[in-house]
Amino acid sequence: MKSLITIWLSMLSILGIANASNTTNTFSNPLRDQNGSDPFLVFIEPYYYLLTTTWRDVQLTRSRTLAGFKPGIGSATSETKLIYKMANPNPAGGNDVWAPELHNLNGTWYIYFSQDRKSWVLPGASDPWDWGTRVYSDVDRTQVHQEWGIDGTVVTIPKWGEYFVWSCMTNSTSTTQGQEVEELQSLCISPLDTPTSIGQFYTLSQPLETWERVEIPVNEGPAGLYHGDRVWIAYAASFCKTPDYSIGLLAWDGVSDPLNSTSWTKSKGPVFISANGNFGTAHNGFFTSPDGTETWNIYHATPNANGSCGADRQTFAQVVNWDEDGTPEFGAPVRAGEVLSVPSGEI
Ligand SMILES: *[C@@H]1O[C@H](CO)[C@@H](O)[C@H](O)[C@H]1NC(C)=O
Ligand SMILES: *[C@@H]1O[C@H](CO)[C@@H](O)[C@H](O)[C@H]1NC(C)=O
Ligand SMILES: *[C@@H]1O[C@H](CO)[C@@H](O)[C@H](O)[C@H]1NC(C)=O
Ligand SMILES: *[C@@H]1O[C@H](CO)[C@@H](O)[C@H](O)[C@H]1NC(C)=O
Ligand SMILES: *[C@@H]1O[C@H](CO)[C@@H](O)[C@H](O)[C@H]1NC(C)=O
Ligand SMILES: *[C@@H]1O[C@H](CO)[C@@H](O)[C@H](O)[C@H]1NC(C)=O
């Protein structure tokens, strides 16, 4: 079966039939129907790369098509590599690996992930697929910050440089009459001085709005979104075990110091919420279509109307639209099984 598909694909490319202008090519969600949490996907010619975890590892899958990530279809046309494996997983859980991401810094690829509620980075690679002959483990990773922190990502601000943005608890306790009243899982930002080290860090956003505080006040899962010179940071708000876990947006003002929270404006409410049989539609990433013309939102969702923080979360991808004034329109989460056009330029 595999060889037949390979032969068929190479025949198509030899005959020039599979080309970027064929808009009849389609796919449907979810891309992963289990273990689809905290998805991160990037297109690096000629493959899409998807990072996933089963809580104790980091796996990298590459595919030339989005449909190729789907179990069944995917097994024929995608390849998966185990990149990292925890040395001593706690049988009771609690030191889970979360949210792996792949970023290019000055020409070298780095994988960031959370473990033990800290951010870590693996040694860099010049090729996004070639990570050497052995599987990395705890001894190979470098800790990015000392304090409690998860979901680290790299955000590039034009003319300013690279920043590390993550979910933090620093200065998180608010007190009333000497009594600690709550902890605020917030977003922090710092210059990324080198791929493995940050500078001084600052609180970027706290969950102070009602829609960010359902069951537990949470800001997590930050992801940079770019359009022209404009930059936003999308993030997940509220507790993952509720259907109100949703995407909020911080808009950079385009001129002021990105380390200063006053340079960012928070959306008036969530920009992407549960609908169409998908609940808790957040912790997302963004990727660019193969021809560079479209921005796509890749997020997780659960069919459980109560929401979920578990491995039953599924991976969905859909295009982001842009208003005339250049602001992103996320629309509503698409229904599972709905037929969508593939990203522009996908072969
Ligand atoms: C586009 O792709 C579809 C599905 O693979 C195929 O049936 C169709 O012939 C293609 N059309 C063109 C113009 O290449
Ligand atoms: C999901 O991950 C678990 C390990 O946590 C594994 O046992 C299971 O097979 C995975 N499911 C799929 C569909 O990959
Ligand atoms: C990338 O290179 C530039 C120029 O040398 C440097 O200023 C910047 O710190 C580097 N970025 C990282 C993350 O190391
Ligand atoms: C925490 O509070 C201290 C004292 O006000 C301040 O200097 C520091 O920048 C704060 N850190 C963050 C991450 O907000
Ligand atoms: C952040 O920006 C505001 C408004 O410009 C300014 O008042 C404040 O001093 C800045 N804070 C820092 C730490 O630079
Ligand atoms: C959702 O929560 C309600 C109330 O706790 C419970 O009765 C129901 O079984 C839950 N549904 C699922 C799918 O877990």
Q: Which domains does the chain have, with CATH numbers?
A: 27-338 (2.115.10.20)
> Per-residue pLDDT tens for 184-233?
999 999 999 999 999 999 999 999 999 999 999 999 999 999 999 999 99
Ligand 4 neighbourhood includes 188 CB (under 6 angstroms): yes
Mean pLDDT of the chain: 91
Residue among 26, 304, 52, 72 at smallest CA distance from 62:
52
How many angstroms separate the CA atoms of 116 and 246, rounded? 24
Q: Contact at 8 Å (CB) between 308 and 314?
A: no
Which residues does 17 contact at the CB level (< 8 Å), separation at least 6? none
> Per-residue pLDDT tens for 237-255?
999 999 999 999 999 999 9
% residues pLDDT > 90 (the chain): 82
Q: Which mutation among 253, 262, 263, 265 tests ligand 5's pocket best, with the greatest number of atoms within 8 A of CB?
A: 262
pLDDT higher than threshold 90 for residue 4: no
Pseudo-torsion of CA 172, 175, 178, 180, nearest 10°?
-60
Which residues does 268 contact at the CB level (< 8 Å), separation at least 6? none
User: Nearest residue CA, atom 6 of ligand 5?
Assistant: 262
> Per-residue pLDDT tens for 31-55?
999 889 999 999 999 999 999 999 9
pLDDT category, 1, cuts 50, 70, 90?
Answer: very low
pLDDT at site 171: 78
pLDDT higher than threshold 50 for residue 9: no
How many angstroms separate the CA atoms of 59 and 56, rounded? 10
How is 194-230 classified by DSSP, letter by letter? Answer: ETTEE---EEEE---SGGG-SSS-BEEEEEEEEETTE
Q: Ligand 4: which atom is nearest the Cα of residue 168?
A: 13
Ligand 3 neighbourhood includes 156 CB (under 6 angstroms): no
% residues pLDDT > 70 (the chain): 90
Ligand 2 neighbourhood includes 142 CB (under 6 angstroms): no
Q: Whose structure tokens read 């404006």?
A: 265
pLDDT at site 183: 82
Beta bridge partners of 174: 182
pLDDT at site 345: 96
pLDDT at site 253: 98
Ligand 4 neighbourhood includes 148 CB (under 6 angstroms): no
Q: Contact at 8 Å (CB) between 281 and 268?
A: no
Range from 45-59, 61-75, 76-90, 177-191 that averages highest in pLDDT: 45-59
Ligand 1 neighbourhood includes 25 CB (under 6 angstroms): yes
> Per-residue pLDDT tens for 135-189?
999 999 999 999 999 999 999 999 999 999 999 998 777 666 766 667 899 999 9
How many angstroms separate the CA atoms of 105 and 297, rounded? 22
pLDDT higher than threshold 90 for residue 112: yes
Q: Ligand 5: which atom is nearest the Cα of residue 202?
A: 13
pLDDT at site 209: 96
Both tokens of residue 279? 């609940």
Determine the residue type at 82: L
CB count, 10 Å around CB of 102? 22
CA of 81 to the centre of ligand 2 (A): 15
How many angstroms separate the CA atoms of 196 and 273, rounded? 34
Ligand 1 neighbourhood includes 24 CB (under 6 angstroms): yes
Q: Which mutation among 104, 105, 106, 157 tests ligand 3's pocket best, with the greatest number of atoms within 8 A of CB?
A: 106
User: Nearest residue CA, atom 11 of ligand 1?
Assistant: 22
Determine the residue type at 241: K
User: Nearest residue CA, atom 5 of ligand 6?
Assistant: 306
Ligand 4 neighbourhood includes 170 CB (under 6 angstroms): yes
CB count, 10 Å around CB of 33? 16
Ligand 3 neighbourhood includes 21 CB (under 6 angstroms): no
- Mean pLDDT throughout 266-281? 98
Which residues does 16 contact at the CB level (< 8 Å), separation at least 6? none
